[in-house]
Amino acid sequence: MVKVITYGTFDLFHQGHYNILKRAKELGDYLIVGVTGEIYDLERGKLNVQDSLLTRIENVRKTGLADKIIVEEYMGQKISDVVKYDIDKLVIGSDWYGKFDYLNRYCEVVYLERTKNISSTQLREKQKIYNIGIISDTMEDGEIVVESKYVSGIHVESVFMEDESMAEEYADHYELAFSTNKMEEFLKNLDIVYVRTALSDRYAYCHNALSAGKHVICENPCSLDSEQLETLLKMAEEKQVLFIDNVILAYLRALAQLTWMLNRELIGQLIKIRCCIRVENSNEFGMIDQLTDSILVFLRILGSDYNNVTMNPIYDEEDKLIYNQIVFHYENRIGCIEIGSTPGMKNHLSILGTKGRVDLPDEWWNMGYFEASEGSDSKLKRYSFNFEGNGMRYLLHEMLLMIKEGSEVSKKLQPEESLRIVSIQQKLLKELQHFRRIPPL
């Protein structure tokens, strides 16, 4: 029996894909098709894939040509597949000419002429483009404009600002087609609204956009009032649109992987997680709204069954909050956040277990790198993950999949999780505002 294997992303399945599968099948008796996995695509920077892995597999299956479908999950997998499945021929389109010659040692490599005038890229260009509009009050942050360029199918179109001339300046600076200070006009041709104003205005703007039936991404936290957040989540459900809390950490594979490894006792039973955050200059509000990532880490890794949360704010001579320690007390574990503006504060996350520890240095919320030391000889294992730009591209990519494929795709940050985080922040803020401060001597 002649066994053939071929690979591809098979996004927006088209005639070119069908033709190559058919011809590959004709070259043997048994055809295996490798479909690239989502994580593999993300890691090699291919963020333009429109169909989910399930859809792409289903499309290949529906051709009836594949005897077996596998997922290609990492670079270098082709060699092990060829050996594992005892492959005679690897078939690939002529766009890859010469690239797979190294596999000639294991099997015959056949390059087939590509079908002319069709590709997933061409089809993507013809696909609906989702227009994003930004609601902002500062010239500073246009990162979404850069980030959106890495995700095909979305385009940042316009900006709304109360100040008309600032809006114009913003649009010029970030090369946006349109700027306005009139809400109705702004919302007209948009699919997605990104709200990144001062905290006090976020709720009202999100409310506006959701009422108009737009998908919304809101800077985190959207509000420090859990009732407001609940209202927005309900509105989104009623309008059947997405309301996305911009918590990039929740969209990173590294967090899921770290949680999974810790659950499997990578460093034994967990004792303590310590998240340190350096803030430039902050007030009560500022310190509380920076806690989202740490609380998310606690909820994901330590769970939501903590007994209580305590706080130790420290003020300087001018009565300015400069440091705070917030402790989540669990039955037999501790989650501790240290947040402060003093020069000695360093961003760091450490996790202590009965058999070792995990450290994430510097901007730990990007989860680009972590190291685990375990056992009595403290053997060090290093893990690194792709993190490009400011990470928003991962959220935008996921959001687009959610819009297109509805509830089939899991929401990376569950509404209940967002709500729980905001409730904790709300409670902490209230306590902080009423905190009895001992006057300086």
CB of 412 to ligand CTP, least distance (A): 24
Neighbours of 73 (CB within 10 A): 13
Residue among 16, 133, 221, 368 that touches ligand CTP (CB under 6 A) = 16
Task: Determine which helix (DSSP H) or strand (DSSP E) holds 231, and give its type and residue range.
Answer: helix 226-239
Q: Return the number of the residue (11 or 38) whose C-beta is nearest ligand CTP.
A: 11
Residues 17-56 contacting ligand CTP, CB under 6 A: 17, 20
Query: What token pair was written down for 274?
Result: 């310590």
Of 78-86, 114-122, 185-193, 245-253: span binding ligand CTP (CB under 6 A)? 114-122
Distance set, CA 315 to CA 180, 222, 227, 353 (Å) = 42, 27, 30, 32
Distance CA 387, CA 417 (A): 23
153 near ligand CTP, rule: CB under 6 A: no
Distance CA 223, CA 202 (A): 7
Distance CA 89, CA 110 (A): 7
70 near ligand CTP, rule: CB under 6 A: no
CA angle, 176 as apex, 174 and 177 as ends, to 5°?
160
Calculate the CA 234 to chain-centre distance. Answer: 23
95 near ligand CTP, rule: CB under 6 A: yes
115 near ligand CTP, rule: CB under 6 A: yes
152 near ligand CTP, rule: CB under 6 A: no
CB of 71 to ligand CTP, least distance (A): 14
Distance set, CA 39 to CA 54, 103, 120, 122, 385 (Å) = 13, 24, 19, 23, 11
5 near ligand CTP, rule: CB under 6 A: no
Q: Return the number of the residue (8 or 368) whose C-beta is nearest ligand CTP.
A: 8
CB of 236 to ligand CTP, least distance (A): 32
Residue among 50, 119, 324, 341 that touches ligand CTP (CB under 6 A) = 119
Distance CA 297, CA 286 (A): 19
Is the bond leading into 439 cis (omega within 30 degrees of zero)?
A: no
Instruction: Give the binding-site size for ligand CTP (rule: CB under 6 A).
Output: 16
Residue among 3, 10, 131, 337 that touches ligand CTP (CB under 6 A) = 10
Report the interface residues with ligand CTP, using CB under 6 A.
Answer: 8-11, 16-17, 20, 92-93, 95, 114-115, 118-121
